[in-house]
Structure 1
């Protein structure tokens, strides 16, 4: 009698792993044979979104035993609207009990729920995830505790060695104060920043300074420039920096001053990415004509940026990417004449770039 044909385990793993980002195909794999289910669960439950308290209660109902639930497969835990969930759950530990292997925590919230999540609740949750590396906080997530935080007792904290993304319309002071107080420190390699006040800018600088020994990537959202005056992000101590990215409506002086903090010690610097949105189509071969079109002060700012990009290219052989709308490229050629003449910049259009819808982070290689 012929035994049941079975694939060698390494072939089965290869097939299932190949389908890791195709959930419908993975679900079909679960119907093939029981032996296919364990490997398939690893990918099916790798990323979980909990959109409501009902979702969370359903999980607990279907998987009442945390030790045997597929929660240990979850690596990314996302709360698209965290307010109602936290209002119905007492304590972060209870919330994440089945998800102790999470390495990325994402939280976003509607504008209408301003005080949905206090910093004490947030850090109780963070400290309950022993493997956590990445934190992504979206609009209006963190409300203020009464008084000055942190109101929790800092204790053994997760590694926090991945990405910190702060795109908040509320103040980031409580978040930053708590992160800086964690007993094991923070060791983020990537920062994505947007903030809403000058005070938040100071907190962002404190984070950069604290992670200066590990920081490799900094992205500054264009919205920050609406709230910043002449302040700059001082990157001089972040000597392991590999890439800097800016979103901006043309506050070129702010970008130039920040790039001036990059020193010869930044030997690992490889790429500068600038997402530009000039307000007008500008094209003029003659510098005097260009001055009349954009104004003498604006013209000087662009020439300073042009010179700084050339200096960085000469010092570090850095790849410079400028990303914008197709009809703005002539403007850039006019406003960055030396960089354009030397061919040191790569121009990309928005249509050729994919974006993460939550963080607006560019995904091109």
Structure 2
């Protein structure tokens, strides 16, 4: 199973000054964090796309291109690219370029997005939310599989015998589909044969098990090779030597960010009780010490049949020092323990 981290580039908020952290400083810190993730042997780094004042990253490809220059082995992916409000041709060109810069380490993870700011920003109608994604996903798939494209759709200008250049190192890119847990999205990913990643950021993870079973069934019914099936989850978390002390320090940051997001969605204020429920063995948060997080990753791997797990680790902008320590612990303690346990199980 591949193990990695993902980030959105959350910016810390100074309540006294009523201002967010400088994106410049966050991006500089982020490159140090990515470099460390590579050095400690993690498999994947993912970066997400947002268009809000509390996030530093609007163009994952730019960050991944910079990361390609300071890393050697780690896979570099978006987490996610909001394909509905992007041009698949340009997306493919950008990620192919990252792939060339990184010597074949780039991937794309596409989704419809849980935030809507990109739609008016790039001139798309939110009422076309589903249609845009379906059409653009089909086009992206065709670009990945065909050097010369002739294509016609509803929302984008037609292509007539066009080459999409440059091409990636191995001729095509790995494309993952990210879903929030709707059956229609799961079925679409399975039938098209795309790897699936489900964001599990709240509630009881066991409730998501039917979606993984649905994917497996539809994937096989569509005639895809079971040996190539890939399943992943993305969950919030942070690691420290002392889990309880880390939780005390991290909760205010985490709750503040959840409340910022929730204020536009009608959520009740986030409570410490919710936080601790998430940290429990049946919850969705991976906030704790190495042993706690190792056990939880193994629990989820067994429950869902995962081939990849991403720890989304900068929610609420924890301190750079805490992020560096978390990455160090994940790579040097948790990852080896998970790999050893899975090897023992396999034997």
Regarding TM over 0.5, the answer is no
- As a proportion of its length, which structure holds more helix? 2
TM-score by length of 2: 0.31
The higher radius of gyration belongs to: 1
Q: Which has the higher contact order (CA 8 A, sep 6+)?
A: 2
